[in-house]
Structure formats: C-alpha cells, structure tokens
Amino acid sequence: MIEGGRLRRALLGTTATVVLATALVGVAPTAVAADARSQQWYLDAMGVEDIWKKATGAGIKVAVIDSGVDPDTPSLKGKVLKGWDASESKGDETDDYRGHGTSIAELIVGSGAQGGIRGLAPNAKVIPFRVSDTELQNEQAVNAFDMAEAIKAAADSDAQIINISMASDYYNEESREAVQYAQAKGKLVFAGAGNNAKSGNKKQYPASYPEVVAVAATTRDGVVADYSQHGEAIDIAAPGTEIPGYCDESLTKYCVTDGTSNATALASASAALIWSVHPDWTGNQVLRAMFESAGRGDDWKPGTVSTKAGHGVVRPNAHINRGIGNPGDPNISPLTNEPTGGAAAGSATPSAAPSATTSEGASTAPSATASTQAPDGKPTSGSAVAGSTESAASTEDGGSATGIVIGAVAAVVVLAGVGVVIARKRRTA
C-alpha cells in the first residue's frame, strides 16, 4: 500500500546508539593523518577488495550537485567531466567554494593518489553541477532557482546517478518537478536525509520527495546515528561518521567529518558499483537490488521498512559477490511501487554529453519558480534500526567539512513584472 507517495513504514523495536556531536552543532572537525585512506574504515568493513575484483564503477557517471568539484586534486585527476555552474556566481563548477563538493566526489570516485581519499567506485566518473549555499547567497548575487535547474540539467546529462548531499527545510514545487523529470529520464537520485534529528527532525528536501532515495547515516557500530533525520521518507542508510573529507575550501588537508552528506556519497557509489556490473538494468532494478541486499538487524521483520534506516544499510558486496537482491520489474519504482515510464537506465539520452574537465559549464537548464509551502502529510513514527555494511560498519552524520550549513535567506526574483519571494534554507546533509 502506498501512503503519501511512499511505501508504508513499519515500526521496529531497536533504538539508535548515541553518537558524538557533529560539526553542524559547533564541534570542529578533527584533522587526520596525511594518508586519508588509513581513515577509511568503512571500505574494509564493506569488503572492497572483494568488490573491486568484479566491480569498480567503470562506465557509470555520477552527477554531483554541490558546492563545485575541483578536478585538480591528486585523487580526482582524470575523473571529473564537464559540468555546469547553476549558481551563476563567480567562477564555475570547478571552483569549490566550500571544499564540500570535492570531498563528496572523492568519496565516490577518488583514486587515493598521494594519500588522498579512495572512492568506493574508483573507476566511475563525476559530473559537477554547482549550486549555492546561504553564505554564498549572502555574499553575492546568485541564481535563485539553481537547485531545480541543476537537477534538470543533471537529468539531461550522461549521468545515470544524481548525488545531492544538501538539504533544505522547504518543499519546493520546481525542485519536486525536477526530480520527477529525472526519474522519468531513468536516473537514480540520492539525497541526504539531514543531520538535525535532535533539533526538531524536520523533513528535509529534496530527500523527502517520493522520487528521491533518502539516505540516513550510520556509525562504526552499524547503527543509525542519533543526529540522522528519521521518518517515513528514509529509504536506505550508509556509513556517515568519522569519514575523511577536506577541512575547508583550501583543499590542503583532510579532517574527520560526520553527516548524511557522506552517507549519500557512499550510497551513490554503491549504486554505481551495482550498475557497472549490470549496465543493461534500469535505475529501478539497481535500486531494488540495493534494497534487497541491504544489511538488517536480526529482529528485522521481513517486508518492513524502518523509519530510521529504511530498507537497511548498503551492502554492495552482498549483491555483487553473493547474488543477494533481485532486479525485478524494470519499469516499477521500488520507492513507490508505481510505474516510472522512464528510459532504459544506464543509457539515458543526454542533451549535451559532458567531456572535458576544466572548461566552463555548459548551457542551460529549464527555468523554474519556487514554492515554500510543504505538502500536507504526517511522517510515520518509528524506532531506530540497527544495520550493518559488510561487517559491523556504518557511520553517522553531522556536517563539518562535509556539511555546508545553509541558513535562511530570502531572494527576490522578478518574473514578468511580479515579485516572487523565495525563502531559502539549505544545508549540507
């Protein structure tokens, strides 16, 4: 049964483990050793050496909608394709004004060169689409509709997967239409559930749109972090705590970071691994295999979905090397159990195929207007869920270098002589 565009969530009996406070609530990120790979505990827990014998993400492209991606870090050289700056701010999509987008890209596809981050899907490629955060909006003029336009542009690109490690308190009709458009194009859209479970646990967007895979964050112990947003929107969980990422926009050193931003990157990378093994599958089939192969606690009842961890904690190895998870109907969304009418996955036809790494962003995305009112609907309450990656792994999430905090700011846009006030409150997830 579908309720509010989402599968009905069942209550589960376990409770979340309390986690360390994160940078989003004022704790500074901790600098890590020069070798970031030594801090990537989740890769070993997920069994990457076994995974990489069969799947590395080759042939898959991931759109990273974020603060920009620097293609010149040692770990990203040769891995960043031509993207677009939807923010229309100073610079272009290769100018990362926070260091956040570059961190996310490295978590997905990084080579690990010169002690850098090793991506979970190291042979995939990323396409950057730059959007603004609140600080940037307060500093200079930006495109008020950049998120919706970036999603549509990413849907029209070669990317099979769209990663959005950012979140907003506000429902926006144009962004909702953009993710519907992306789904109809056969794309998988992953977004961070948010890091404010202990501060109101308000629904976050785009994660809470029915067409988006909402990703929660887990800890090293394989349980959902207590700051990770929960509710009926959650679809899956991934490691998010104590994950290396750049400390700031200087991109000179890594810090340990917490947040659903990290978890979203690892969920996107997991999808890239599975899709690279099954390039003829649709996004629906890839996602269904992810859901069915996800790690679940011993007390998890078959057929239920947790309000803390969704279908469980990502385990690409369980599918790739053990065959767990059936693809099912290529045209039915496992998010809503409804037909998507989308293109046959891996090969969505792009309007402009990305190619180079350093040239300026390509043109265009459809224009949009915004709404700040959320639709009616109540989240289903539920208790926390334990899950595991390949061993006892997962992470929690908060925000630090991997969390661009976006406060409230109003942008006034004049369309055909009518002033439209758009309330903005985005934060890195």
DSSP states along 243-254: EEEESSTT---E
Radius of gyration for the chain, computed over Cα atoms and rounded to the nearest angstrom: 19
**Boundaries of domain holding 17:** 2-428
Instruction: Decide if 107 contacts 245 (C-beta within 8 A).
Output: yes
Q: Which of 261, 268, 270, 276 is catalytic?
A: 261
* Cβ neighbour number for residue 352 with a 10 Å cutoff: 14
Asked if the peptide bond before residue 206 counts as cis, ω within 30 degrees of 0, the response is yes
CATH number at residue 316: 3.40.50.200
Catalytic residue status for 319: no
Q: How far apart are CA 391 and CA 46, in angstroms?
A: 7
* Cβ neighbour number for residue 37 with a 10 Å cutoff: 15
pLDDT per residue as tens, the chain (429 positions): 333 333 322 222 222 222 222 122 223 355 654 589 999 999 999 999 999 999 999 999 999 999 999 999 999 999 999 999 999 999 999 999 999 999 999 999 999 999 999 999 999 999 999 999 888 988 999 999 999 999 999 999 999 999 999 999 999 999 999 999 999 999 999 999 999 999 999 999 999 999 999 999 999 999 999 999 999 999 999 999 999 999 999 999 999 999 999 999 999 999 999 999 999 999 999 999 999 999 987 677 877 899 999 999 999 999 999 999 999 999 999 999 999 965 544 443 333 333 333 333 333 333 332 322 233 222 223 333 333 444 333 333 333 333 333 222 222 222 222 223 333 456 688
How many domains are contained in the chain? 1
pLDDT at 42: 98
Instruction: Decide if 71 contacts 125 (C-beta within 8 A).
Output: no
Q: Which of 66, 85, 133, 156 is catalytic?
A: 66
Q: How far apart are CA 245 and CA 261, in angstroms?
A: 11
Q: How far apart are CA 238 and CA 263, in angstroms?
A: 5
Q: Tokens for 11? A: 């209550």
Question: What is the model's pTM?
Answer: 0.78
Alpha helices in 337-402 (DSSP H): none
pLDDT at 100: 98
Q: How far apart are CA 293 and CA 298, in angstroms?
A: 14
Q: Which of 70, 92, 96, 100 is catalytic?
A: 100
CA distances from 83 to 80, 159, 175, 205, 413 (A): 8, 10, 19, 23, 25
Q: Which of 400, 398, 401, 402 is nearest to 18 (CA)?
A: 398
CA distances from 5 to 274, 374, 376 (A): 26, 14, 12
Catalytic residue status for 278: no
* Cβ neighbour number for residue 41 with a 10 Å cutoff: 16
Q: Determine phi and psi for 182, rounding to 5 degrees.
A: -65, -40
Catalytic residue status for 230: no
